Amino acid sequence: MSFNIGLSGLYAANKQLDVTGNNIANVATTGFKSSRAEFEDVYSATKLGSGSKTIGNGVRLANVSQQFTQGDVNNTGNVLDMGINGSGFFVLSENGSMSYTRAGTFKVDKDGYVTNSDGSARLQGYGVDANGKILNGVLTDLRIDTSNLAPKNTSTVSSTINLNSTATIIDQTINPFDPSKEASFTKQFSTPIYDTQGNQHIMDQYMVKTADNTWKTYTLIEGRNPDGSDPTLTPPVASTMAFDSSGNLVSVTTPAVPLPIVSPDLKVTGWVPGTVTNGVWTANGAASGVVTVSMDKTTQYNADTARSIPTQNGYATGQITNLTIDTSGVMLANFSNSQTKPIGQISLASAYQEAFKAQGLTAAQILLTLGDTEERRRYLNARQTISTLLAQRAVPVVNENDTVATAEIRYGDNDRLSARVASMLSADCLVLLSDIDGLYTAPPGSTPGATLVREVRQITPDIEAMAGSAGSELSRGGMVTKIEAGRIALASGANMVITSGTILHPLRALQQGADCTWFLAPSDPVTARKRWIAGQLEPKGVVQIDAGAEKALLSGKSLLPAGVQRVEGAFERGDSVIIRAADGRELGRGLVAYARGDAARIIGKKSGEIAAILGHAGRSELVHRDDMVLSKA
């Protein structure tokens, strides 16, 4: 008997060496996860049970488990070699059969598909549409498209300009504008722009100071009027810029029929792209469209007349030069024309994704840090991201971004993180699933008379004392952090409930009356949020609206740019602003969706024009009704 017990120990030691040898053999294997031999005692027993003097029957191998730790990430120099930071697996498809791996060594086959190192399986991810937008939803074989990037004509130009207020006034009755005579203009700015065929042209803007606080700007392309006519024979059309006494731009007026155009933008219409050869202009067959030159960042101060480097959204034909992959798995093709275009996004499979997929739902992981809920701009971005996912019927799975958080700037537990997210979204209820079914008057495991607290309406010192200090093996903070989460939830107007998550279908059990502790908020989330907007935020600006917009607000509508007459102040997106009627009465306060510069450009415009004016799609409301509090009459 003793010999057999001893042999079991030798056998176990041999298995331990086998596992160790396998770990050593695979030390250079990409994606390999080391294993650990786990053993268990073999008890000796009879039909009558085990006695106090019974000796065991040795040891046996219970399990060989893989250690799914982060591991080391090494730089190989191959752009398609990837390492996963955190949890998840690469998804591979071999003729429709899915497999999962942590090994990130990939290559491109002759057809451009991304495959594993032996070419037997293709990497899965999400494709893109013609505009480079990721098409989430259906996994596909990722393929690197090496075709040229089609050209894009210029439609917007923006820059920051200062015109010297002390510049000499030019009398145009004596010295009319002539692009060939420097004495007829104050300053010339040149900008490269592109037509629909990707041909580059030079657009010149000539600034002429014609009076105090008044400048004219002439726009020529390749030295010609936009329609191709000779400016020496057909005088160019000038736009007039007016400034106030502080040097701020008041208006840009361009002659037009039947009425002049007054706008912070200068629109170049009727451009016919062409070339000038030996003094003869010839159209090149390309089209152009309207070029909108943003002038709203133009000032007139006592400083040199100068302009920042202009930005424009056109480009020539591009050939792919290299490939990069960002931290979210998006594959980016870089082109010779300095453009970058997404060509696909790598998909990582995780347990929660597979679980939601089985229910016909899409899961999306979001990583937050403490700063995402405390810094205003990041707070708004996170809130908008989660709201958009919910609107797309995707389930956000939120975790703390441990890879960038430090001990000083982290939540450290999911209880407070979930409460902050609930507050961010103005949620009605927060459910905390724990290894215990609620808050007890004392630790139930060590105090026989401990009773379950069914309802909490206020976090008092007595409630805090009940929480104790020790966390369980399943959590970092135990009941203490749940009480802190309750404080955050109640302040935001959200109810919170603590119940057991160790049973099957815990939410169904909660609905059917399972034991729990409810934390009941004194007001609903909307009321709490509006109280915060009305009384706790310092207004950074003023938005004055017309009578039609006032009527819309009083009927419960959001504030659209079309109803705004003017804006004041230096506010950023998400700041609080005062909303005033046309006669100056304060109607209420709200969180503005655009910074002052962008807001000034879209006031009086229809929501459908915002994308064309700003160059990107934004919110259709200047102040959403959910972010607004109207004053009582």
Residue type present at position 178: D
Contact indicator for 123, 114 with CB cutoff of 8 Å: yes
Q: Looking at the structure, do residues 345 and 360 belong to the same domain, yes or no?
A: no
Residue 448: give its domain's CATH number.
3.40.1160.10
Residue 53 pLDDT > 70: no
pLDDT digits (tens, 9 = 90+) for 295-337: 989 999 999 999 999 999 999 999 988 888 888 889 999 999 9
pLDDT score of 75: 67
C-alpha distances (whole Å) from 275 to each of 91, 202, 204, 284 are: 52, 11, 15, 7
Q: 258, exposed or middle or buried, with CB in 10 Å at 0-12, 13-18, 19+?
A: exposed
Q: State the pLDDT at residue 472.
A: 43
The top-scoring range by mean pLDDT among 1-5, 217-221, 287-291, 622-626 is 217-221
Is 545 in the same domain as 454? no
Highest mean pLDDT among 351-365, 460-474, 610-624: 610-624
Q: Please tell me which residue, 233 or 371, carries the higher pLDDT value.
A: 233
> Do residues 515 and 408 share a domain?
yes
How sure is the predictor about 409, in pLDDT bands with cuts at 50, 70 and 90? Answer: very low
Q: Determine, yes or no, domain membership for 73.
A: no
- pLDDT over 90 percentage in the chain: 40
72 assigned to some structural domain: no
Coil/strand/helix, residue 380: helix
Rounded CA separation 295/249 (Å): 8
Check pLDDT > 70 for residue 221.
Answer: yes
- Asked whether the predicted pLDDT for residue 520 surpasses 70, the reply is yes
Please report the pLDDT score of residue 375 as a whole number. Answer: 67
- Is residue 332 located within the same domain as residue 402? no
78 part of a folded domain: no
Mean pLDDT, residues 419-424 = 86
On whether both 163 and 133 belong to a single domain, the answer is no
Indicate the pLDDT class of residue 191, thresholds 50, 70 and 90: very high
84 located within any domain: no
Domain of residue 279, CATH code: 2.60.98.20
Among 66, 100, 122, residue at a domain's last position: 66
Tell me: pLDDT of 173 over 80: yes
Q: Are strands 541-545 and 564-569 parallel, antiparallel or unpaired?
A: antiparallel
Q: Containing domain of residue 304, as a range?
A: 156-312
Is 237 among the domain residues?
yes
Rounded to an integer, what distance in angstroms lies between the CA atom of residue 451 and that of residue 440? 5
Q: Residue 48: its pLDDT value, please?
A: 42
Confidence grade of residue 49 (pLDDT, cut at 50, 70, 90) = very low
Instruction: Name the pLDDT band for 43 (thresholds 50, 70, 90).
Output: low
Q: How far is CA 321 from CA 16, 339, 629, in A?
A: 50, 10, 52
Residue 27 domain-assigned?
yes
Per residue in 280-316, is it b (16+ CB within 10 Å) or e — as a string? ebeeeebebeebbbbbbbbebeeeebebeebebbbbb
Q: Are residues 299 and 204 in the same domain?
A: yes
Q: Are residues 183 and 244 in the same domain?
A: yes
The first and second tokens of residue 472, run together, are: 């369980």
Are residues 304 and 214 part of one domain? Answer: yes
Where a domain ends, among 349, 364, 397?
Answer: 349
| Interatomic CA distance for residues 310 and 308, integer angstroms | 6
Contacts with 236 (C-beta within 8 Å, 6 or more apart), sequence order: 177, 218, 219, 220, 225
Contact yes or no for 577/590 (Cβ under 8 A): yes
Asked whether residue 308 falls in the same domain as residue 428, the answer is: no
- Do the domain assignments include residue 186? yes
Q: Which two tokens stand for residue 249?
A: 């731009």
Same-domain pairing of 293 and 330: no
pLDDT-based confidence at residue 450 (cuts at 50, 70, 90): confident
The domain boundary residue, chosen from 527, 559, 583: 527
What is the pLDDT, as a whole number, of residue 315? 94
Do 521 and 559 share a domain, yes or no?
no
Cα gap 270→227, rounded to integer Å: 6
Kindly state whether residue 75 falls inside one of the protein's structural domains.
no
The amino acid present at 594, given as its one-letter code, is Y
Rounded to an integer, what distance in angstroms lies between the CA atom of residue 425 and that of residue 492? 10
Residue 504 pLDDT > 80: yes
Q: What's the rounded Cα separation, in Å, for the pair 456 and 486?
A: 9
Instruction: Answer yes or no: do 500 and 545 share one domain.
Output: no
Residue 474 pLDDT class (50, 70, 90 cuts): very low
The domain tally of the chain equals: 5
